[in-house]
């Protein structure tokens, strides 16, 4: 009998323990009324994604109540309750009152923080729950809907925006949701920067620095914020915007719940979309709306427009002129522009269309969601104060009307996804024919101006021709030996833009070492300053250079006929006896390899800059292959032959090995293989066959080097003997391409652009030339979001032996078809 009693007691004890465990587990994500959470205790969301409790930021002893990621990144806090009233000890407590209010008390029992009062009905039996979204809610314990709580932390965000949040204004409750940065990395108190949906005029996204606007994302246009051309739904998340009489809000939701992403306003004021990369155990920058200097609010002042590809970046809109020319000329554009001809509200006034821009600040605007564009123009023209108009919603062919009044500020030019803006102009500025008497007068004046222009241009050309002939005469007289050749040689010489040797000697201070910029394969390069102050780069070919006279003439004649923003511009050449010199435009940032392969300088090239460089090189190469008068094969494309101007725009240089084709010719064969090991295509290195596709191969190598910051030649990995191409191919096959990205890019990475760049790079280095894309396809790939075909195995991805000596380098390489060749490096 006693044994039965003991057994019964044991069973009851087990039941009690099981019940306690079940109760504890079910309550792991909740706080009941009058329940207390002490410092050191936490509650966890149902699937353990988020955790709530007390914490101290790094390098701080102050205590806060916050919510953070539990499993993936414990140090990443998404919400702080008492951010401006920290605890100084670990004796704090968090509890839920019977009235449904969360409170934080200090060691003396004083309340230092309480959840805001709600207009919702009183809660009979409240409970607070941490949801899997990271939202802390207060609701009825029985029958309460977590999706419709009486209070929620999502209504009072700190610095972070996560999926499921609404960001904007609720006109029913009067609540405006915005984000405020931490004061510093270790201080969650309210910082200087805030993110708002500004509802003065038509709603637009802005980032404020205190009371001043730092950045403006622009108005919502039905697809995106006007100032964020790269904002688009993708495989990670989708987004939307609600605009009605009850609310205005922006929200985003995950497409794939396995992805983890957040949007944060940093203490520095940077507004960033971040994605968690599990393989790296770190957050990577997925997207940021602030991409360049033109994103500075009102940089160009009233009626000014900013284009980062121009120099200077700011310019006045057509029909406007600088308000303060002296300031404008020294890059102080704050005074903006004024109309060249004032408006008089006459019936002959009309509108000029501007395309591809970020719409102006909408604080002084009016909108109607039902009008069409024609009705919009009529309404604007009737109101003399109306400055401009545009389509309010660009989706489905466009609808709605958006009007501006007063000055137009913060306009930016975009290469893609810009919008049309129609600006009011006086009759004299209108481009349309026959709309006013002012246009009729222009019809009379323009022919006269045209005739005068032709006369002046003829005089100018004649003057320049005489001057050039004089310079040629001086240069040729110093080089009788060179001009002892045949008649055809002399005919070619007439195409050379010659300059006198003495001019270059003076410009370079007699080729002093102080002015020496570097040493190339064909000789030293010097910086020179011409008499008019123009800076130049003088390439002085050494007497032992492998570039002969024919190659020299080839480079001069070839490049002097090329005109493209991504090709270096040849200004002159000089020939005096054995001395041969080329004079180029000066590139202050030198060559690309001096950045990406240098540990210190590589940090200056963030991802947006690198992607800009990749696109620029692609467009320059497309011009050579397709758009120039002759089809030109460069044959020596590599990072050291990519020069960077003041604005980090890339310029393809060194055309000594280039070959030009006419007609439909696309390939040729040579017995003399020239170029640089690591960039040469297999068919060129092995058989001397070169084509536009051999340049594409070099471009693919170059792309992989820019993304990784590593050289293809001499790449080392402890687990295999592949070069950089082979390493990239292996990681791509395993779905681990992100491991290629240079560590210095972790804070600026745009994930879709990086992955697309690696993919395109591998398509370019495929073994068979016919499998590689042409450059027109490459440019389209970078500018679109279409699905890419899977790459086939690359050529030359296994490096078997490397033997270096002082005079040359011998390499044994194997490509994917097991072809083994041994060759001397050409450079």
- Which positions are annotated as active-site residues? 636
**Encoding tokens for residue 488?**
């055809």
Q: Which helix (H) or strand (E) holds 821?
A: strand 820-824
**221, 398 in Cβ contact below 8 A?**
no
**Encoding tokens for residue 456?**
């002046």
The Cα–Cα gap between 822 and 820 comes to 7
Q: Which helix (H) or strand (E) holds 68?
A: strand 64-69
Q: Of 445, 413, 760, 756, which is closest to residue 607 (Cα–Cα)?
A: 756
**593, 702 in Cβ contact below 8 A?**
no
Task: Give bridge partners of residue 422 from the DSSP assignment.
Answer: 353, 389
Task: Give bridge partners of residue 275 from the DSSP assignment.
Answer: 261, 284
Compute φ and ψ for 683, nearest 5 degrees.
-70, -25
CA distances (Å), 41 to each of 53, 95, 168, 478, in order? 6, 12, 33, 89
Q: Give the β-pairing of 304-306 and 411-413.
A: parallel
How many residues belong to the chain? 827
Rounded-to-5 percentages of helix, strand, coil across the chain: 25, 30, 40
Q: Give the β-pairing of 535-541 and 30-32.
A: unpaired
Rounded (10°) angle between helices 607-622 and 692-708: 170
- CB neighbour class for 753 (10 Å; exposed up to 12, middle 13-18, buried from 19): buried
Q: Of 227, 223, 244, 232, which is closest to residue 394 (Cα–Cα)?
A: 223
Q: Of 193, 236, 201, which is closest to residue 220 (Cα–Cα)?
A: 201
Task: Give bridge partners of residue 585 from the DSSP assignment.
Answer: 536
CA 64 to chain centre: 36
Q: Of 196, 195, 146, 199, which is closest to residue 171 (Cα–Cα)?
A: 199
- Which of the 8 DSSP states describes residue 627? I
- Give, in degrees to the nearest 5, the angle at Cα 423 between 422 and 427: 115
Q: Of 291, 238, 240, 287, which is closest to residue 415 (Cα–Cα)?
A: 291
CA 108 to chain centre: 52
Compute φ and ψ for 168, nearest 5 degrees.
160, -135
- CB neighbour class for 266 (10 Å; exposed up to 12, middle 13-18, buried from 19): middle
Helix boundaries (H) for 666-750: 682-687, 692-708, 724-733
Residues 6+ apart with CB under 8 A from 393: 221, 222, 369, 399, 400
Compute φ and ψ for 455, nearest 5 degrees.
-60, -50
The Cα–Cα gap between 290 and 231 comes to 12
């Amino acid at each position: 009998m006693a044994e039965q009693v003991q057994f019964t007691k044991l069973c009851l004890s087990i039941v009690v323990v099981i019940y306690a465990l079940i109760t504890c587990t079910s309550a792991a994500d909740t706080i009941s009324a009058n329940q207390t959470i002490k410092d050191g205790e936490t509650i966890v969301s149902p699937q353990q994604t988020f955790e709530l409790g007390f914490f101290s930021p790094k390098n701080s002893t102050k205590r806060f109540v916050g919510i953070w990621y539990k499993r993936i990144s414990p140090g990443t806090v998404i919400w702080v309750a008492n951010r401006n009233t920290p605890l100084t000890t670990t004796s704090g407590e968090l509890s839920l009152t019977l009235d449904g209010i969360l409170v934080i008390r200090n060691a003396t029992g004083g309340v230092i923080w309480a959840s805001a009062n709600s207009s919702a009905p009183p809660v009979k039996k409240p409970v607070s729950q941490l949801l899997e979204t990271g939202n802390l809610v207060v609701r009825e314990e029985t029958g309460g809907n977590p999706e419709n709580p009486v209070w929620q932390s999502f209504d009072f965000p700190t610095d972070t925006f996560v999926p499921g949040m609404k960001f904007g204004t609720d006109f029913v409750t009067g609540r405006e949701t915005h984000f405020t940065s931490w004061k510093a990395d270790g201080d969650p108190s309210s910082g200087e920067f805030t993110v708002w949906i500004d509802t003065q005029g038509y709603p637009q996204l802005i980032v404020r620095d205190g009371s001043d606007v730092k950045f403006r994302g622009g108005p919502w246009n039905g697809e995106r914020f006007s100032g964020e051309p790269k904002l688009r739904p993708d495989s990670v998340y989708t987004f939307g915007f609600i605009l009605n009489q009850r609310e205005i809000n922006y929200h985003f939701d995950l497409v794939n719940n396995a992805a983890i992403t957040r949007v944060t306003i940093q203490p520095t004021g940077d507004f960033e979309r971040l994605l968690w990369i599990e393989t790296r155990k770190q957050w990577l920058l997925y997207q940021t709306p602030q991409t360049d200097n033109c994103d500075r609010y009102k940089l160009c002042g009233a009626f000014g427009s900013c284009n980062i590809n121009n120099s200077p970046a700011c310019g006045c809109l057509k029909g406007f002129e600088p308000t303060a020319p002296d300031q404008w000329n020294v890059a102080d554009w704050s005074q903006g522009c004024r109309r060249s001809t004032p408006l008089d509200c006459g019936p002959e006034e009309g509108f000029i269309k501007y395309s591809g821009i970020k719409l102006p600040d909408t604080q002084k605007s009016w909108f109607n969601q039902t009008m069409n564009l024609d009705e919009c123009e009529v309404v604007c023209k009737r109101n003399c104060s109306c400055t401009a108009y545009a389509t309010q919603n660009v989706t489905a062919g466009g609808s709605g009307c958006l009007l501006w009044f007063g000055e137009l500020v913060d306009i930016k030019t975009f290469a893609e996804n810009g919008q049309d803006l129609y600006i009011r102009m006086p009759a004299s500025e209108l481009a349309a024919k026959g709309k006013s008497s002012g246009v009729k007068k222009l019809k009379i004046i323009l022919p006269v101006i045209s005739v005068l222009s032709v006369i002046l241009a003829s005089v100018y050309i004649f003057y320049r021709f005489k001057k050039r002939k004089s310079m040629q005469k001086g240069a040729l007289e110093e080089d009788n030996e060179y001009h002892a050749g045949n008649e055809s040689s002399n005919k070619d010489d007439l195409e050379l833009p010659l300059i006198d040797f003495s001019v270059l000697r003076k410009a370079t201070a007699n080729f002093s070492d102080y002015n020496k910029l570097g040493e190339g394969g064909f000789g030293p390069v010097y910086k020179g300053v011409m008499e008019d102050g123009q800076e130049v780069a003088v390439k002085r070919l050494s007497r032992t250079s492998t570039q002969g006279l024919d190659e020299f003439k080839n480079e001069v004649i070839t490049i002097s006929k090329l005109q493209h923003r991504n090709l270096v511009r040849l200004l002159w050449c000089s020939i005096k006896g054995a001395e041969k010199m080329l004079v180029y435009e000066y590139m202050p940032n030198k060559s690309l390899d001096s950045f990406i392969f240098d540990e210190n300088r590589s940090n200056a090239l963030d991802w947006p800059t690198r992607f800009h460089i990749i696109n620029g090189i692609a467009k320059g190469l497309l011009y050579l292959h397709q758009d120039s008068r002759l089809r030109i094969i460069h044959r020596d494309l590599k990072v050291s032959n990519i020069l960077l101007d003041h604005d980090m725009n890339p310029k393809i240089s060194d055309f000594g090995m280039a070959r030009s084709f006419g007609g439909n010719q696309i390939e040729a064969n040579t017995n003399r293989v020239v170029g640089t090991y690591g960039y040469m295509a297999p068919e060129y290195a092995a058989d001397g066959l070169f084509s536009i596709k051999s340049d594409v191969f070099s471009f693919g190598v170059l792309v992989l080097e820019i993304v990784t910051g590593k050289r293809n030649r001499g790449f080392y990995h402890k687990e295999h003997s592949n070069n950089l191409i082979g390493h990239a191919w292996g990681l791509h096959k395993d779905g681990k391409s992100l491991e290629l990205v240079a560590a210095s890019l972790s804070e600026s990475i745009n994930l879709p652009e990086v992955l697309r760049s690696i993919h395109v790079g591998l398509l370019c280095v495929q073994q068979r030339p016919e499998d590689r894309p042409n450059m027109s396809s490459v440019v389209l790939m970078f500018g679109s979001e279409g699905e890419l075909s899977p790459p086939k195995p690359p050529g030359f991805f296994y490096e078997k032996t490397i033997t270096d000596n002082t005079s040359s380098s011998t390499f044994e390489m194997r490509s994917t078809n097991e072809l083994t060749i041994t060759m001397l490096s050409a450079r």
